[in-house]
Structure 1
Amino acid sequence: MTRTIPPTLPLFEVDDPSKARQRAAQQIRPSNPGLAEAVEAADPDWWDQAVAAVRKLAATGAPFQAYDLVTRCGLPEPSNPAKQWGALFAALSREGLIIPTGYGHSRRPTARSSAARIWRGAQ
């Protein structure tokens, strides 16, 4: 079965960051309504800071994982980490800002070295 992904909109070239978050939710909703709800539920200030942090790490070209946004960029944990980290990375991956490169051991102390997705900037 082939999964059709609708074309992306320029989410992160929008002047109003709250509109970018809304567009991300709209894009994700057809294929994953639950993930779209997580995007909409994210605190707008946290979302904006998270997007900026991912952009910063993606621009280096080096691999990174979600916990690096906390340790290297000072991003606070989201109010619902289990859903909002995934929603953030799914939206930015769909937009083409980042690409997955594999899995590694999580550096998050509470994760006990469980698997974590590794990302890098798409450019």
Structure 2
Amino acid sequence: MDGSIPEPRRTAARRQAEDYETWLAEVWPKFLDAAASGRTFTCYEIADTHRLPDPPNPQAHWGRLMTLLKDEGYVRTAGWACSNRPTAHHSGVRTWRGTAAARRAAA
């Protein structure tokens, strides 16, 4: 009891956005930053690191986000990994890596 305030605990509960456009506006910049870094990542890693909300329809919208990023030329598929999402039971997930265009856009 030194009078300091402890860090708040991170809970398993995540926010969920009410509409797709608002959610996309919040998560898009974080994924562009990840793409510009040049490192390989999964959707969950970025969402968890930045404590991003879930979209209105998580089963469809996370994949749609990555398809949009790929179609816009910001990311490419990099391979597969075991998910570290607690509810995924280490199932296989796609990994992504930013393109040279994403690195140039960040510069």
TM-score, normalisation: structure 2: 0.72
Residue of structure 1 equivalent to 2:34: 57
Determine the C-alpha separation between the residues in 2 that align with 1:80 and 1:51.
16
Percent sequence identity over matched residues? 34
* Residue of 13, 17, 25 corresponding to 1:48: 25
* Residue of 69, 79, 99 corresponding to 1:102: 79
Determine the C-alpha separation between the residues in 2 that align with 1:115 and 1:49.
26
Point out the structure with the larger helix share.
1
Residue of structure 2 equivalent to 1:112: 89
Q: Displacement of 1:56 after TM fit?
A: 1.1
For residues 38-86 of structure 1, the C-alpha deviation after alignment (integer angstroms, 9 at most, x for no partner) is xxxx521110112111111111111110101221122111121110011
| Structure 1 residue matching 2:65: 3-state secondary structure | helix
Moved beyond 3 Å, runs of 4+: none
- The alignment yields a C-alpha RMSD, in angstroms, of 1.1
More deviation in 66-75 or 81-90? 66-75
TM-score, normalisation: structure 1: 0.63
> Is the Cα–Cα contact under 8 Å of residues 46 and 78 in structure 1 kept in the other structure?
yes
Greater radius of gyration (CA): 2
Please, which runs of 5 or more residues in structure 1 have no aligned partner? 1-41
> Is the Cα–Cα contact under 8 Å of residues 59 and 121 in structure 1 kept in the other structure?
yes
User: Which gives a bigger RCO, structure 1 or 2 (Cα 8 Å, sep 6+)?
Assistant: 2
Determine the C-alpha separation between the residues in 2 that align with 1:72 and 1:56.
12
> Is the Cα–Cα contact under 8 Å of residues 50 and 69 in structure 1 kept in the other structure?
no
| Count of aligned residue pairs for this structure pair | 82
